[in-house]
Chain A
Amino acid sequence: MSDDDTRVRPAEYSSRVDREHPACLIFLLDQSDSMRDPLGGDAQRPKHVALAETLNGLLYEIVLRSVKSPQEGPRPYFAVAVVGYQTDRQGTPIVSTALGPPLDEHDIVWTPDLAKHPLRVERKQTGSGRGEVATPIWIEPVAGGGTPMMAAFDRAGLIAKSWIDSYPESFPPIVINITDGESTDGDPAGLAERLRNLRSSDGAALVFNLGLSEVIARPVLFPNDPGALPNVHAQALFHMSSPLPGFMLDAARSQGFEVAPGARGFGFNADLRAVVTFLNVGTAVGRTLR
Chain B
Amino acid sequence: MSVETATDDEQLRLLGPIVAVTALALAAVVLVGAGQVKVFWWLLMLAVAAPAVVELALEWRRRRAAQPATSSAGGRTRHRTASAVDDTPVAPPATPPVPPLPAAPAQFAVPAEEVTQQRPRVVAPSVPHAAGDPRSDRILERSRLSASTEITAVQIPKSTSDLSTCEDAVDADDSGLVVAVSDGASSAFMSRAWARILVAGFVEQPPAPTLDSLHEWTVRMSERWGQIASDATGERGTEEWWNQASTDRGSSATILGLRLVPTGSGFRWSAIAIGDTIVAQVRSNPQDGGVALIRSFPIEGADTFDATPELLPTTATLDVAELPALRFTEGTAEPGDSLLVMTDALAQWALRSEAEGRAPWTWLLGATGTELEALVSAGRSDGTLVDDDVTLVRVSALQPAIDPAALR
Closest 8 CB pairs of A and B: A134-B241, A10-B383, A70-B233, A290-B186, A67-B246, A288-B308, A288-B307, A70-B243
Residues of the A chain whose Cβ atoms lie less than 8 Å from the Cβ of B186? 16, 18, 289-290
Distance in Å: Cβ of A162 to nearest Cβ of chain B: 23
Residues of the A chain whose Cβ atoms lie less than 8 Å from the Cβ of B384? 1-2, 7-8
Distance in Å: Cβ of A6 to nearest Cβ of chain B: 6
B-contacting residues, A237-256, CB 8 Å: 247, 250-251, 254
Residues of the A chain whose Cβ atoms lie less than 8 Å from the Cβ of B233? 70
Taking A70-B234, A290-B186 as known contacts, 20 extra A-B pairs with beta carbons closer than 8 A to each other, sorted by chain A number, are A2-B358, A2-B382, A6-B358, A7-B382, A7-B383, A7-B384, A8-B383, A8-B384, A18-B186, A19-B160, A63-B242, A65-B187, A69-B190, A69-B232, A70-B236, A115-B240, A115-B242, A121-B241, A133-B248, A290-B307
Contact of A71 among B113, B160, B191 (CB under 8 A): B113
- A133 with B187, Cβ < 8 A, contacts A16-B387, A247-B307 known: no
Residues of the B chain whose Cβ atoms lie less than 8 Å from the Cβ of A89? none
Contact of A64 among B183, B185, B237, B242 (CB under 8 A): B242
24 inter-chain pairs at a CB distance below 8 angstroms, sorted by A residue, are A1-B384, A2-B358, A2-B382, A9-B383, A16-B186, A60-B245, A65-B187, A67-B243, A67-B246, A68-B189, A68-B190, A69-B189, A70-B232, A70-B237, A70-B243, A115-B242, A121-B241, A286-B187, A288-B307, A289-B187, A290-B187, A290-B309, A290-B344, A290-B388
A1 and B190 within 8 A (CB): no
Contact of A289 among B246, B307, B358 (CB under 8 A): B307
Chain A residue nearest to B380 in the complex (CB): A10
Binding site for A on B (CB under 8 A): 113, 158, 160, 183, 185-187, 189-191, 229, 232-234, 236-237, 240-246, 248-249, 306-309, 344, 352-353, 356, 358, 360, 363, 375, 378-379, 382-384, 386-388
- A250 with B306, Cβ < 8 A, contacts A7-B383, A289-B187 known: yes
A1 and B379 within 8 A (CB): yes
Docked complex Cα distance between A18 and B245 (Å): 21
Docked complex Cα distance between A6 and B349 (Å): 12
B356 and A6 within 8 A (CB): yes
* Chain A interface extent, by class: 35 or more
Residues of the B chain whose Cβ atoms lie less than 8 Å from the Cβ of A218? none
Docked complex Cα distance between A136 and B242 (Å): 9
Docked complex Cα distance between A228 and B185 (Å): 40
Q: Does A38 contact B (CB under 8 A)?
A: no
Q: Does A225 contact B (CB under 8 A)?
A: no
Docked complex Cα distance between A60 and B229 (Å): 20
Docked complex Cα distance between A74 and B388 (Å): 20
Chain A residue nearest to B190 in the complex (CB): A69
* A 253-275 to B, binary, CB cutoff 8 A, 1 in contact else 0: 01000000000000000000000
Docked complex Cα distance between A18 and B387 (Å): 11
Q: Does A20 contact B (CB under 8 A)?
A: yes
Chain A residue nearest to B302 in the complex (CB): A8
Residues of the B chain whose Cβ atoms lie less than 8 Å from the Cβ of A2? 358, 379, 382, 384
Q: Does A41 contact B (CB under 8 A)?
A: no
Chain B residue nearest to A251 in the complex (CB): B308
Docked complex Cα distance between A9 and B186 (Å): 23
Distance in Å: Cβ of B325 to nearest Cβ of chain A: 14
Residues of the B chain whose Cβ atoms lie less than 8 Å from the Cβ of A254? 308
Docked complex Cα distance between A7 and B379 (Å): 10
Q: Does A181 contact B (CB under 8 A)?
A: no
Q: Does A233 contact B (CB under 8 A)?
A: no
Residues of the A chain whose Cβ atoms lie less than 8 Å from the Cβ of B358? 1-2, 6
Q: Does A194 contact B (CB under 8 A)?
A: no
Chain A residue nearest to B345 in the complex (CB): A290
Residues of the B chain whose Cβ atoms lie less than 8 Å from the Cβ of A290? 183, 185-187, 307, 309, 344, 388
Docked complex Cα distance between A30 and B131 (Å): 58
Quick one: which of A69, A121, A286 has the most chain B CB within 10 A? A69
Chain B residue nearest to A287 in the complex (CB): B187
Residues of the B chain whose Cβ atoms lie less than 8 Å from the Cβ of A289? 186-187, 307
Chain B residue nearest to A1 in the complex (CB): B375
B241 and A136 within 8 A (CB): yes
Distance in Å: Cβ of A199 to nearest Cβ of chain B: 17
Docked complex Cα distance between A170 and B65 (Å): 53
* A 44-76 to B, binary, CB cutoff 8 A, 1 in contact else 0: 000000000000000010011101111101100
B-contacting residues, A171-219, CB 8 Å: none
Chain B residue nearest to A8 in the complex (CB): B384
Residues of the B chain whose Cβ atoms lie less than 8 Å from the Cβ of A8? 352, 383-384
Chain A residue nearest to B183 in the complex (CB): A290
B232 and A64 within 8 A (CB): no
